[in-house]
Structure formats: C-alpha cells, structure tokens
Chains A and B, each alone.
Chain A
C-alpha cells in the first residue's frame, strides 16, 4: 500500500488540516502522520471520524503521500494544490506562510 495520511477541513474556518501522530490537526501536510498498512489507515480514519463528532473537522479522507525534502507531501496534483494554496496566487494559502 502507498503511504497515506488523513486530511480534512477545519469546521470553524474551513482551513485544510492533516492529522498528526499526537491526534492533533496540523495545517502543514509535512506534519501529518504517515501510515503504510491498511489497518493503521483504518485506525487513522477512525480517529478522524471522532474529530468530526466533536466538531473539530469536516470531511476527513485518506490521501496518498510521497516523501519530499521537507517531509511527506501529497502525491496527487489536486492534493498538492490543497496543501499549498492556489498555484496562481502564491501570496495566498499555506504557501504564503512558508509551508
């Protein structure tokens, strides 16, 4: 199985977040917890669903990630844009904060 992590949007402000190893939601993809077997992926998603129930995030799902210089990064193009911000406005989104 390809390495994966869980992403979602924070409920109150919609910001894209990633589930970290300590169970907290981080804004940087590189801080997300990477799993590479099905059981751990299911476990991670279950943790995320609990965060939905407590109104921290909405719409969690698993994404494929690949190792990068600064840590794991999304494999799919769509998720790369989500992790960085609009490609045509590099002054906006996480990329603007140096993520």
Chain B
C-alpha cells in the first residue's frame, strides 16, 4: 500500500498548520465567513443541516488497519461515535466542531490522510475498483495508476479552479465495479492485440441534473502516456468548459454540446503538443509507486480449502453469507470478503467507531491489514484465506457486519438526504431502511437475485439513483417529500441511465411502489434473468401499468 514519502508528509503537515491558523483567525473574527468559506471547503469542511461536516479522502478506497483505527478514534473523540462511508469511497463525519477540525486534520496527517480536494472545483479523490489487487481476471492493480493520478492532481495549479468539480475513476477488470461510465473521466485498463497494457478512455459521464454515460474518446492509450493525455483532456475542459452557468459547467455538457468527435480532436491536438514532454511520468517513479502496491505475501495454497467446503456444507447461514458476500480471488485458496454496512433497518454506509476498530483488528488478523471502501458503501477485506473464512464470519456476526446481502435488494445505496444534507429535498436513509425491513426475508431477497436500488435526496444524485436498477429520487411537492422512480439504470460495463416511470409517489407509498416493481419483475422474469435483464427485455410498460393501475 502506498505510504507517504517525505514530500507528502511535509505538504500535509504544512497544510494542517495553515488551516489551524485560518480557523483561529476565523474564530477571532479576523476572517469573515465569506473569506473563510473557500478555505474550509478546500479542507473538506462543509456546513450542513445540523452542524459542520468533514469529508475525509480515502484515495481509491484503500485503507490500512492503522488508518481505519484512526478514523474510529476521530469518530469517538471528536464526533458522535460513527462515520458515514460515501459513494465516493470517502468517509464523512456529521458533527465535528470547527474549533476541533485542526486537531482532526493533524490526527489524520499522522496516518497519511487528509481532507484536501474533497470539495471545490478541482480534481476530487480518485476512485477505483474496490477489489483492486485481488480480483480474478484483473489486468494489473489499477491503484498504481490511481495513485499516480492522485499525485499529479493534488494541488495541480492549472486545475485547481476548473469550471466545476472533476471526478476520475479507474478499473482494470472486465467487470466494472467503479462505475467508470458515470465519471468525468473513466479509465479502463485493457490489453491491445500485441498484449501491451493501456487504457480505454471515456469522458463526459455523470449524473446530477443532466445524466450522461461517458463517451469513449480513445480505445487504447499506452499507459506510459496517461498523465499527458489526462492533462490534455483537462486543458480542453478548462478552456472550453462553461463557467457562465453552473448547471452546464461539467465536462459532460461540453462533450455533449460539441460532440465526442470534436472533443476527441481537440484533445488529440492538445496532446500532440505535450506528449513525451515533462508531464510524462519517469519510469523510475512509476516503478517506485508500483512497488508500493506489490501483492502481500500470499501463501501457496490449494484452490479450494476443504475446511471452507465442509463448513459451507454444514452451516446453512454460513453458506448463504459465502454465496452473497464472497468474490473469487486471483490467488488460489484466498477469497475477497465483503462486509455489509447494510443491516436491516440501519443507515446504509454508517459504521460505528467500535465496528471500525473491530474491522481493523480483523484485517490484521485475517487479511494483511488491508481494508477497502466500496462506492456501494460497504467495506471489503480483499485477501482472506478460505480456511479462515468461517472464523472471520463468526467474528463479524456479533458486530452486525455479516448481513448476507451484497448485490441484493437490501444492499441499497442511499445518500445522507434530508436527515443531514442542507441541499436535500427529501430524506433517503429512512426509505432505504424501510425497504430493507420490507425485504428482510433472506430467502426472498436471494430469490430476487442481483437488484440494485439507489436513492438520492435531490437531483445532485450522490446516491447514484440514475444508475440504480431501481432508482429513487426525493423531490419536494408543495413542501412534502415525494419520490420519483427510475428503472433500468446500470453503473457497470453495460451502463445505462434509468428512465423515469411516471409521477412521483408520496413518502407513505414509496416502499409499496418498490414492491410493486419487484413483483412485476418476478411475474415476468424468464429463468436466470436478473431484474435488469427482464427490464431490458420487456421495457417500461408492464411496470408502469402495475404501478399506476392501483391509483
């Protein structure tokens, strides 16, 4: 895992000292709120509905056990004992006091973390496949490139004041778990016909008010040229992106307005001028960074551990968890373990300080101290020996971290919504909680198969509702919470934007409406079809008919 070098350390420590001074000057009145706001936002500190909110960056969703313990400590010492993992693989604290934030940032800096570029019109925290370095079928660890992008983009002077915020996601697997199609830039590692590794580059994806799936602007970019090419894309956006209208300022609008071909041409022209220039990463630096992501000391094991097989056979609950929450590992005898942060009736993505500490301990005991945060708001222990899985599962059960529901109807993404967020139209967490209660029967949930529900409390779409198989968007209708349903969204390699099914449902009716959608699917599905498959085959009409027939 990447550890800070002296440069990173000095920079982050200096930044904490600066912010300490800025906070002191704000509290003494030397700085006005208008002067201070941009400074606090540059350090991830927002003012939300109830209090300040601190968003801490977790680059590409990777944490060491030491870092996770520190996040637990911050939750306990400065907040109300919990944190919220977000769809950007970050963590948010909902109750920090302004006067404490310099101490929080100092505590973070000690473990190589910060809250820089988690706000503002800059390149935000780079996200990546949470199974990086572990997934079977991965081309190479995408975090090497995510870290390179992090270093390149951190305080990049030319790109600190872009027309709008900018999000980059990287994956190196054929199965896209990083939702690259709905990012400003999505990077997918691929091999060309000669076996050389590079990236397919997508631009202009995004959600919010005007959702778009990213357009491919380069089928193959040799990886050595990644930074110069990204620089070219950002330059074109920085020059031509709209600054006159906040709703049209994201790169997706520029790409849409001029077209992917024209955009590609501008990028290629820009790139021709800087390619092979000083922005390209020297091979030694690449090697230095790559070395930090070297695989842990895996043991040589048989592909399948007999202990694991036996336990699965004997213990039905364990077998169910194993089926839902484990993913194949590239190393024989190992598994990728998902820890669900979606227990029935609880806020998606919240973890208590005790849970964080316990996960850190379990990561040390069973998984090389490596923890991942997923954009679907769960945690992952990426490298666990199969023979340890039963013991791990038993340890997770009393912690409330063994809900066997990954990818199912109750593994819901929900943004903070009106319970915390000052921009919200409606609550989202309570809707998620109610849906998990409605579908609490595990047999039923598993029978429904892969089903992704995603909920946002406003059109900003932090809850990714546009790409939910069932998307739920909170709207305000004459001062009352209502919910609009979209169907057929998909954030993976077969990405699509969901379509609005019809008029919004009241808060009292939304869970029934979701159930109607689900039963309509069950009534129409062909053997082996997931919800998304059925929807793509039969279209919107049957769903619309059953949803609005009862009115």
Q: A88-B433, A92-B80 are in contact. Are A14 and B420 (CB under 8 A)?
A: no
Question: How distant is the Cα of A83 from the Cα of B323 in the complex, in angstroms?
Answer: 44
A1–B180 Cα distance when bound, in Å, is: 50
**How many angstroms between the C-alpha atoms of A11 and B24 in the bound complex?**
12
Interface pair A93/B50, CB less than 8 Å apart: yes
In the complex, whether B14 has a CB less than 8 A from a CB of chain A is: no
- Interface assignment of A23: CB less than 8 Å from any CB of chain B: no
List chain B residues, Cβ under 8 A from A77: 418, 479-481
B50 touching A16 by the CB < 8 A rule? yes
Chain A interface, number of residues (Cβ within 8 angstroms): 25
Per-residue CB contact flags for chain B residues 473-506 toward chain A (1 = under 8 Å, else 0) read 0000001110000000000000000000000000
Q: A13-B98, A14-B52, A14-B98 are in contact. Are A87 and B427 (CB under 8 A)?
A: yes
- Residue count of chain B within 8 Å CB distance of chain A: 28
Q: State which of B47, B49, B95, B430 has its C-beta within 8 Å of the C-beta of A88.
A: B430
Docked Cα-Cα span, A55 to B26, in Å, equals: 8
A76 interfacial contact with B, CB 8 Å? yes
Determine if A63 is an interface residue (Cβ-Cβ < 8 Å). Answer: no
The answer to whether B98 touches A59, judged by C-beta atoms less than 8 angstroms apart, is no
B347 close to A88 (CB less than 8 A): yes
Q: For window 90-113 of chain B, which residues contact chain A by CB distance below 8 Å?
A: 95-99
A86 within 8 A of B: yes
Contact partner of A59 (CB less than 8 A), chosen from B33, B96, B427, is B33
Q: Is the CB of A82 within 8 A of B481?
A: no
Q: Mark A80-99, 1 if CB is under 8 A from B, else 0.
A: 01100111110011000000
Q: In the complex the two chains form, what is the Cα distance from A54 to B429 in whole Å?
A: 37
**In the assembled complex, B29 has its CB within 8 A of some CB on chain A:** yes
Give the CA-CA distance A59 to B26 in the complex, in Å. Answer: 14
Q: How far is the CA of A86 from the CA of B418 in the complex (A)?
A: 8
By the criterion CB–CB under 8 Å, are A12 and B97 in contact? Answer: yes
Which chain B residues border A54 with CB–CB below 8 Å? 29
State whether A13 touches B99 (Cβ < 8 A). yes
Residue of A13, A55, A81 near B419 (CB, 8 A) is A81
| 9 CB < 8 A contacts A-B | A11-B33, A11-B98, A14-B96, A53-B29, A55-B26, A85-B50, A86-B429, A88-B429, A89-B419
Given contacts A11-B33, A14-B98, A15-B50, 8 further A-B contacts (CB under 8 A): A12-B97, A54-B29, A55-B28, A58-B33, A77-B481, A78-B49, A88-B433, A89-B419
* A residues neighboring B (CB under 8 Å): 9, 11-16, 52-55, 58-59, 76-78, 81-82, 85-89, 92-93
Give 7 closest A-B pairs by Cβ, nearest first: A14-B51, A13-B97, A86-B419, A14-B52, A55-B29, A88-B429, A12-B99
Q: Which residues of B contact A (CB under 8 A)?
A: 26-29, 33, 47, 49-52, 80, 95-99, 347, 418-420, 424, 427, 429-430, 433, 479-481
